[in-house]
Structure 1
Amino acid sequence: MELRILGPIEALNDGRARSLGGMRPRTLLAALVIAGERGLAEHEIHQVLWGTAPPATVRAQVHTYISRLRKALGDAVELVRLPNGYELMSSGATVDYLEFGSLAARGRDVFAAGGMAQAANLFTAALGQWRGPALIGATEFLEASEAPRLEELRMSVMEEKAAADLALGRARRVVEELAPCVAQFPFREGLRSLLMTALSHCGRQAEAITVYHEGRSVLAEHLGVDPGDELNSTFQSLLAGTLIARPPLPGGADNAVRPEAVSSREEAYTALPADLVDFTGRHAELRRLREWLKPAPDGTSCAGPVVVTGLAGSGKTVLAVRAAYGIAPAYPDGRLFVRCRDASGYRRPPADIAGDLLRGLGEQVDPTAGSEERVWRLQARLTQSRCLVVLDDAADEAQVHALVPGSGQTQFLITGRPRFATLPRVRVMALGGLQPREAMDLLDGITTGVVGSKGDAGRLVRLCDGHPAAIRAVAAQLIAKPHWTPAHLADRLADPCRDTLGLLRVGELDVGATLLRSAAELPEGPRRALQRLALLQARRITVRVAAATLELPVSQTEDLLELLVDAHMLGVAGSAGEGGFVFELPGLLMCLLTADGVYGGARHLRTEVIRWQPEPNRAPRPGLPAVAGSRCV
């Protein structure tokens, strides 16, 4: 059992999230974790759950929350009734808050003994327990009372890690890590002093002086005080040219850390996106991914790249990020995340991606360096490191092949619509829709009680095909329009005369357009075939029915359908006998391709599915011949 409060509040059993209920049970769990052996008195529980205005049924509600937590946590965690409150005994569980404190304390002991490299590793592991801001999902009362203290603990460890890194000559790494922290916490003079020291040792004295004057102005303007002794001393040493990066070590100069004794391999910072607070479902997939991502038992190499593939919006990225956080401690040299497409959706050159990864690993990248030089430097660096690299939304195998080294301990986790089957020792996980119970849990978790009838909600998620992004879109519609019911929204979504695209577009989330653009990227033959098959209004299609519809020979039709399966535009529903298969068209995609849409948006994008052309100045992708007799509808 894992209890986590340094990020979204959650409990995991064998990598599977346990249902804790709503905001207040989660808050109670987090408060008991923080209280530890001291326990929480009843008035403290009331305060963190309801502030100064607890309800009349407060005792009954607390009892209900405790019962719910006991059921969710099982035997690994014990909730003990005290004379005037409760205590959580977590001897059978791993708690990120306690792990963070233990690792940080060990790091301080090792730092005091002069073991800078080991101390830096321990501080890095401690900071790796954090998955975003602490106490996500708690009440405002617990967050207001505890979040600042927890953030103070994190920043203290960040300063201690920076001091250890400076002692090891890792000034560039310190600059990269502390620059955003100083911007976020401008009053922390310790952070500012360390950043000035790191900049000085990178030969950036002018920037270090600017950092000092910015801090002095901020302190004077907002607090009306001058910089303290530490910051002033750093500034004076900087001006005198005597600023050193190594703190004094116990035992005299003989114990000093010599640069040549330190490994040249610097630890990379964690660059993973924030974990999704309402991540739901995919329990079996998450367990399998974490098993695949484990380093080889002999520690000499990784088993091979892992690919998560599926239809656009199926949750590939959020699943990969959740798995990466779960396995992060196994990769002490860093976890890096890079997007393989630009903001317009076009593939990025491998050289640009390699440059991002090199910068994430602390390397300076010469803008004039050629593609081969960047890729070679990246592969040389990764073969000497144990990193986890997430390549998100990779476009094709050529883009990935250039980045993945043939050996080493770095593990690659790749998301994208292709299956990347030619990568050596690749393991592929194809995502479909969520299971019905998981889809209902996702809808209910986002709407937090807005959904009433389970029958209407079930119809709504069926119309969404269990597609995670579509469920998020309709859930956002229900929250934004309180006068809508699930039944009303389901009726609108099922009506072919409605603007289906509009119902799946909320703010920056535009599910329909994303799905149709995925179809538009297909080669011309499969693109036209998909349009005509959708007009059949049949979810399941045999090869012979498809051949008659497309007016093609059976063998050529089967090849075309298999290509659509590879692109996740079709699924395989079963066997049709005589070696054939029954293919299944996702209902959501069929709806988008055939609905007229009263605003014309769906018609326009469906036309783009037929008329789409490859990117300018790039050769068209090889595809099957155009479908005989096809026409734009």
Structure 2
Amino acid sequence: MRVNLLGPVELVSAGGEPVRLGAAKRRTVLAALALELNRVVSGDRLLSLVWDGSPPPQAKAALQGHIAQLRKVLSDGVALLTRAPGYVLTGDRAAVDVFRFEDLVASARDAADETAVDRLTEALALWRGPVLADVPGDRVREAVSARLEELRLVAVQELATRLFRLHRAADAVGELREAVAAHPLREPLVARLVLALHWTGRQAEALEVFHRTRERLADELGVDPGPELRDAYQTVLAGDAAPKRVERGPAPAQLPREHRGFVGREPELADLADRLRGDSAIGLLVGPAGVGKTALALHWAHRVAADFPDGQLFVNLRGFDETEPLDPRTALIGFLRALGLADAQIAVELEDQAAQYRSLLAGRRVLVFLDNARSAEQVRPLLPGSPGCLVLVTSRHRLDDLVVTEGASALHVQTLPANNAEDLLAAALGRARIDAEPDAVAELVELCDRLPLALRIAGARLASRPRWTVQSLVDELRDEQHRLSALELPEAGRGVHAALAVSYRELPEGAARLLRRLGLHPGTDLDSYAAAALLDINVVSARTHLRTLAYANLLHESTPDRYSRHDLVRLFTHQLAVGESEVDGALERLLDYYLFVADTARAHLSDHVRPFRPPEHRPASHPELSSHAAALDWFTLEEANLGLALDVALLGGHLERAWQLALCLDAFHFRRGNRVDRLALCRIGSEAARALGDAHAEATFLLRLGSTLADLGRLPEAVESCTRAAELARGDRDLELAALANLGYCLMADDRLDRAQETILEALEVAREVGDTRSQASVQNNLANVLLRKQLPEEALRHAEEALSLFTSAAPSKAHTATLHTVGAASQQLGRLDEALEHYRAGLELAERLGDRYQEALCHRAIGDVLEQSVGADAATPHWLTALRLYRDLRLADADDLAAKLDPNVAAVGLS
């Protein structure tokens, strides 16, 4: 079976019968897959190609339908398979006319004239019209038509040259006339037609073709005929009947010397070898400044240089130098000279130079290395037009356009693994010096972000100072204010800061302004909403700027709509922020953004929430958190940033923002059962509130501090803290209620049961007074726990069930989970083990749903205790092990007591 694309798309059976394909989109799917024969085409790329970059909502289903129909008609060695992340058409290259054409043209290159004529004639006979003539849309066709048309013209030119040498000029006239009619300004074709007509005795026609072309060149391009066409004209005038042999130019060898001390990168080298198999491959290596793109590409190029006997071309396109990027014309002129053209033979216009370049590379195997490309537009004129050549491009920009339009294969070069980074230092300093200070070397590697440029500079500094220890340089680099300057080579104007500065200067103003403002953000990652707050713009514009920074490899999109930066980039943005205007306003907007969203999230996690008053800078854009799960996910994602924002607020004297952020984080840690971090937050919050003179805010933290201290077994401190909270809360009945409830809890934990009961009853009176049903339920639950400790399970069960009935009409909450546990405990004391187990399991299910790890631990332990009573220790052990893991994660005081219930060997295996 054959697939024909050089004209209308055809599927032909082994017997030569055409196979009906049906829908136009189906022909497009077949063409897109056939052009990537034996290579996987991702589903997303296929959708983009088939629907011209704008697939409708139903496109995926339609594509699957076309794939299914194509599978029904494919046979005889051609198959369509599903391979992640898309599909692959498999078969021999000869099954697709495009590849038969390319292979025939390539094989003619070194063949004798007679054989070359036969192969070129066969190749050109495969053309039945324009490439993919009946494919709707442009994207698939544009990806290949220019290259294939160029190769067809090169084949026509080569066929004419070979026929001239065989004295068969008359056989060349037909193909040349047709080609010149379609491309009347392509001088190599016109020159050959002039010669073919001359050598078949039709001098008048030859001169007419020359003069007609000369006039069109003057009228349309304002140029005179080039050397090749002028030579053909002189041949006609001189009556020269002897065909001239066209000699090939020299084989250039322009690859620069490899970097000394190249280390590692074996996965990347293997990836390049896998990606760049086959003809006309384009490898695109992208990554941040100093990551080692050029070194990697150069190492691989030297490895494979022998596979390109017709030479290697290299040019530094200077896309990120202090000066302007290299003009593609300058690069092309250099390449044309290297390929043997004299200056007088080189065309004037870029398009004509590119055509000459493609013609000279036709049929050759040449490696083309384009280093430091700024844009796809800079690269595109330097791409060969025929198979057999391979192109390597390096860039700090992603150059997605080359991937989409030219089929380039992109490899994102990352920083070195730690062991390879140490090897790079060892190459500069010697292994003995590295092995003498392993800890200092490990820290140096991380301070350099495992970035090869930074590591080479650090190695050079140490190598030129043999008396320095590695630790001495580490001590210097620990100073964040001077780390970038320590990683510079001032005399050469090179280094991390210089490299980043060039990338920064090339940014559009909006993205540059965001990069400066990122110096105010204390974290290593952020989303588009935080970026919008920094710039006081909408989130859509912020996303555009973030994508620009990611395109320039100054940021990395770690997850969708979330961007991270290397530590050295973070320090660079801090330096930029020093000279930024409106620093205070931007920082306040960032703090208010985090505070506003954190307060929204807190409302989903806490049982009793008073929203803060609207912040001074209410964010225009923010994530919508409409559920408990969404709030918990947001807190988990932003926990580090919120902690750093709290530090910034404290250092900047934003004390109200500081205690409010601390309260929001406390709600998150409370829900997760993280008592240790709660302890620190409550102290920070209470100190900030005290400094502000806000007694009620201080009381809010002291009552939380008390319950946290109680959970950690520090009971006298807990009682003292909650007592002080109750004193400060006077005058605010809601806050007084919370303080009394927490004081009662702490007194109960300290076994001061009578006073605990008295305090809780006082809290219950206040709860009824303010009409807070949920607080009444929580206090009733606390009262039930006191009665349980007094060995009054029937009375305890009555209060716990009353609390449970109050919770049934409210949204799920932590207090609800605690009450289910209390009902279970009372039932267990009364010997009603099945009822106890039912309530413990209901409590566990709710705790898991709420993400309350503390209550999960309590319920697992309680279930284990009931199962031990009713079934035996073996049934209890899995629950005890889970509880013990949670206890230890939460650093709870009961962990050792629970561990004593387990067989040490079982515990060791279960916790490993």
Which of structures 1 and 2 has the bigger CA Rg?
A: 2
More contact order relative to length (CA 8 Å, sep ≥ 6): 1
TM-score (structure 2 length as normaliser): 0.35
